[in-house]
Each structure stands twice: as C-alpha cells, then as structure tokens.
C-alpha cells in the first residue's frame, strides 16, 4: 500500500511497511509493544498524540522510525493499492500475466510446447497430449483383472490355480502374494469344495436363482 491519509490502510494487516504485514512480522506481542490496537488504521496512529517508545528489539525501533517518517511526510490524498510485479517492483496497475509469473515455478520451454499448447486449442485434449508425451498416461497395460480385482500374476487364469488339489484348501501363500491384504482375506474366507462344480448364482434373491421379478 502507498499510504496517503491512511484512512483505508490497516496498520497491522496491510503491506505498507518495509517489513510487510506487521501482524506476521511482530506477532500478537507487537500490539502490546507498540500500543496499537488490532483494528487500528494507519490514520489512527498518525492522527493521535503518541509518545515514541524505545525498544530492545531492533525491528520495533524500525517500525517506530517508519511511523515518524510517515507523520512528517504525511500526504492527505487517498491511499493507493500497489500490485507486486517482478523483481520486487510495485505498480498501480494489476497484471494477470505478472501475477501468474510470480505464483508459478517457471521452467525451460520445451521444443514441443507449441504443438500442444497453441491458440484455440482445447484444454482437455492439450492436457491429455501433455501427459502422453511425458509418458504419464495410465493405460493399465501389463495388468490383469479377475472379478474386478487387479493382481500381479501373468499366468493365473482360473481360480483352481489358487486351490491345493490334494487338500482342496486355498494356497494361502499364493493368494496373499497376488492380492492386496483386504481382498486376500475375503478370498480365504470363501469355502471351497472338491465335489461341487462351479455354478452361477443370482445375488438378489436368497435362493440364488434368477427370475424376471428379481432381475
């Protein structure tokens, strides 16, 4: 802020001092040390009689100097909000471009950037092209799915490969190595049978049989 009469500049929360926001620089203790209330404006501090204080902490003395300097050179015009530009320069006009450059982390321009980000490009397609060029597109290749569960085996095709043919029980080590802990526990809780064949069961009725009513 460029202070004029100080009627629109917060003493503690606006960036009028070289130390920035004084509430952040001095903390809550600063209210007591300077004797200025939390909701005070710069005009309140400049307009009322106030005896300068001597402080042990150097930053407090610097703020006192700034207050005295403002009082001696007080401008009775309006306060003006200034916008930060590059290299710590402040200007009267807001620039979206300059603000964006301050917020983002800039990197070297890639030689293929114009092929993805160009005038009238569709942002969604440009984004997909960008992650594809960077080899970050999740294609799911190399993964297999069994009943909605992803697992790591390339050779596993049927459930009987997880069951010991002699005992008819699950091969615990194999199940736990192929599936995440939650899914492995659910599989191991299923009962196996060496007599019954696999059958399709309709999950909605208790009987397990499909009907047009339940479907």
Q: DSSP for 137-202?
A: ----TT-EEETTEEE--SS--SGGGGB-TTT-SB-HHHHHHHS-HHHHHHHHTS---SSSPP----
Tell me, what DSSP letter sits at residue 106?
Answer: -
User: Any idea how long the chain is?
Assistant: 215
Return the higher-pLDDT residue of 129 and 170: 170
Domain interval for residue 154:
142-215
The per-residue pLDDT of the chain, averaged, comes to 80
In this prediction, residue 65 carries a pLDDT of 92
Query: What total of structural domains would you count in the chain?
Result: 3
- Co-location of 203 and 161 in the same domain: yes
Q: Give the pLDDT band of residue 145 (cuts 50, 70, 90).
A: very low
- Among 118, 138, 158, residue at a domain's last position: 138
- Co-location of 50 and 74 in the same domain: yes
Q: Are 187 and 170 in contact (CB under 8 A)?
A: yes
- Co-location of 15 and 78 in the same domain: yes
Give dist(CA 53, CA 70) in Å, integer: 16
In this prediction, residue 106 carries a pLDDT of 77
In this prediction, residue 11 carries a pLDDT of 93
pLDDT over 70 at 108, yes or no = yes
The overall pTM is greater than 0.75: no
Return the higher-pLDDT residue of 120 and 157: 120
- Co-location of 176 and 112 in the same domain: no
- Co-location of 8 and 99 in the same domain: yes
- Among 82, 104, 126, residue at a domain's last position: 104
- Rounded mean pLDDT of 15-24? 90
In this prediction, residue 141 carries a pLDDT of 47
In this prediction, residue 181 carries a pLDDT of 87
In this prediction, residue 143 carries a pLDDT of 46
- Co-location of 66 and 27 in the same domain: yes
Q: Which two tokens stand for residue 182?
A: 């939650």
- Co-location of 3 and 95 in the same domain: yes
- Co-location of 79 and 3 in the same domain: yes
Q: Give the pLDDT band of residue 157 (cuts 50, 70, 90).
A: low
Give dist(CA 54, CA 15) in Å, integer: 23
- Co-location of 203 and 175 in the same domain: yes
pLDDT over 60 at 60, yes or no = yes
pLDDT over 80 at 109, yes or no = no
């Amino acid at each position: 802020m460029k202070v004029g009469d100080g009627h629109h500049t917060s003493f503690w929360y606006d960036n009028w001092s070289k130390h920035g926001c004084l509430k952040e620089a001095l903390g809550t203790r600063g209210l007591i040390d300077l004797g200025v209330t939390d909701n005070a404006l710069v005009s309140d501090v400049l307009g009322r009689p106030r005896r300068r204080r001597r402080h042990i902490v150097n930053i407090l003395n610097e703020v006192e100097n700034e207050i005295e300097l403002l009082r001696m050179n007080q401008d009775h015009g309006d306060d003006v909000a200034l916008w930060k530009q590059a290299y710590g320069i402040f200007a009267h006009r807001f620039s979206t471009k300059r603000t964006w450059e301050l917020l983002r982390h800039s990197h070297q321009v890639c030689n293929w950037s114009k092929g993805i980000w160009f005038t009238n490009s569709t942002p969604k397609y440009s984004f997909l092209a960008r992650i594809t060029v960077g080899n970050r597109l999740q294609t799911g290749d190399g993964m297999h799915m069994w009943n909605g569960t992803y697992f790591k085996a390339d050779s596993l095709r049927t459930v009987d490969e997880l069951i010991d043919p002699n005992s008819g029980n699950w091969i615990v080590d194999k199940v736990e190595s192929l599936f995440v802990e939650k899914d492995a526990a659910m599989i191991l809780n299923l009962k196996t049978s060496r007599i019954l064949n696999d059958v399709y069961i309709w999950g909605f009725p208790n009987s397990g049989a499909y009907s047009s009513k339940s479907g």
